[in-house]
Amino acid sequence: MRIFPFLKKSDHADSILREELVKKYFDDLQLDKDIRPVDDHIEFDRNKVYDRILSVINQPERRNTSIARRWYVAASLVAGIIVFLSALTYQHLDSLINYFDPIANKQLVAMNGQIVNYNLADGTKVWLNGGSKLTYPERFRGKLREVTLEGEAYLEVAHDAKKSFIIHTGAIKTQVLGTSFNVKAYPEDPFVRVDVVTGKVGVTYASNKSNRNETVFLIPSEQVVINKTSNTALKTQTKDVDVLTGWRDGGLVFKNMPLGEVLNAIQHQFNVSVKADVNLTNCGISANFTNVSLPNIMKIISKLIKGKAVADGSGYHLMGKGCK
């Protein structure tokens, strides 16, 4: 019996062509005319033999096709995994780099009675008020420049259009590209306040009204006060930005500021405890205490609230009838 090696080796031959070749082979042999079966009762079935040969010829091709298909599927899966891992790696590239080559965090601390000035690695200038702490990386990496503030700071952020500068103050995030602004976020204060001097600032907080994060955008001479208890924001115009940021030059100026906030500022500047009766905390104070001694400041405040300041071992205690 003849073998058809030229057909088995041709993986890409057309199946119709194979059938024609086999049929021609039978025609050339003329099996049903020249050869008689041994048993006259058994008839030579040409079509059956023909089909069997075809099945033998096609079987390797199907096997090869199946193997090729499996390799194709496997290659597709591997390629997909590689693409997925590449995308995942790119998305978390900074995290991976930070894992293998971590950047140390540092802290800039200003004790009560101090004002600290410092330049970050990107050229951003920071003034830190008394009783404040800034956590920052030794150098910035990736698409963001992130720091964490507890207390009050004035910043002149070096402009970088490709890397936003973000200040985290608890759950509140202040984001800029390059601008100058003041952030006040002492733990004892019931609010976080942001005042813009130049540029544009976005302040993001979790709003209780919408149950989602909302962003307040500020331009120069605007401020936002975010209540940490109610998670509400109040945006206003202000003509007193220089007054609010004058502390970095040693200024101590107040314009209709609640007594409670005034006393906090005095404590941070003079490193002394000053308390007041609850009925006095909402009294509005307008005064310039720059270069004024602490005892004289207490005397002036006593007159403004129509009360008195009593010195105790650790500082002062204000008492009075309160303000109308």
What secondary structure does DSSP assign to 200-268, as a single string? -EEEEEEETTTTEEEEEEE-TTEEEEEETTTTEEEEEE-S-HHHHHGGGGT--EEEEEEHHHHHHHHHH
- Residue 237 sits in the same domain as residue 127: yes
Q: What is the pLDDT of residue 121?
A: 95
Q: What is the pLDDT of residue 4?
A: 43
Of 57, 91, 125, the residue that ends a domain is 91
This prediction has a pTM of 0.69
- Residue 255 sits in the same domain as residue 237: no
Answer whether 173's CB lies under 8 Å from 159's CB.
Answer: no
Q: What is the pLDDT of residue 202?
A: 96
Q: Is residue 99 situated within a structural domain?
A: no
Number of domains present in the structure of the chain: 3
- Residue 138 sits in the same domain as residue 197: yes
- Residue 197 sits in the same domain as residue 307: no
CATH code: domain of residue 291: 3.55.50.30
- Residue 232 sits in the same domain as residue 266: no
Q: What is the pLDDT along the chain (324 residues), one digit of tens a residue?
A: 444 444 444 444 455 555 555 555 555 545 445 444 445 455 555 566 556 655 655 555 455 556 666 666 667 766 766 666 565 554 555 666 666 667 889 999 999 999 999 999 999 999 999 999 999 999 998 889 999 999 999 999 999 999 999 999 999 999 998 899 999 999 999 999 999 999 999 999 988 777 789 999 999 999 999 999 999 999 999 878 888 899 999 999 999 899 999 999 999 999 999 999 988 888 899 999 999 999 999 999 999 998 899 988 889 999 987 776
- Residue 175 sits in the same domain as residue 144: yes
- Residue 186 sits in the same domain as residue 303: no
Q: What is the pLDDT of residue 8?
A: 44
Of 91, 118, 148, the residue that ends a domain is 91
- Residue 173 sits in the same domain as residue 278: no
Answer whether 176's CB lies under 8 Å from 202's CB.
Answer: yes
- Residue 149 sits in the same domain as residue 265: no
Q: Which domain holds residue 297?
A: 251-320
CATH code: domain of residue 135: 2.60.120.1440
- Residue 118 sits in the same domain as residue 72: no
- Residue 78 sits in the same domain as residue 137: no
- Residue 258 sits in the same domain as residue 236: no
Q: Is residue 219 situated within a structural domain?
A: yes
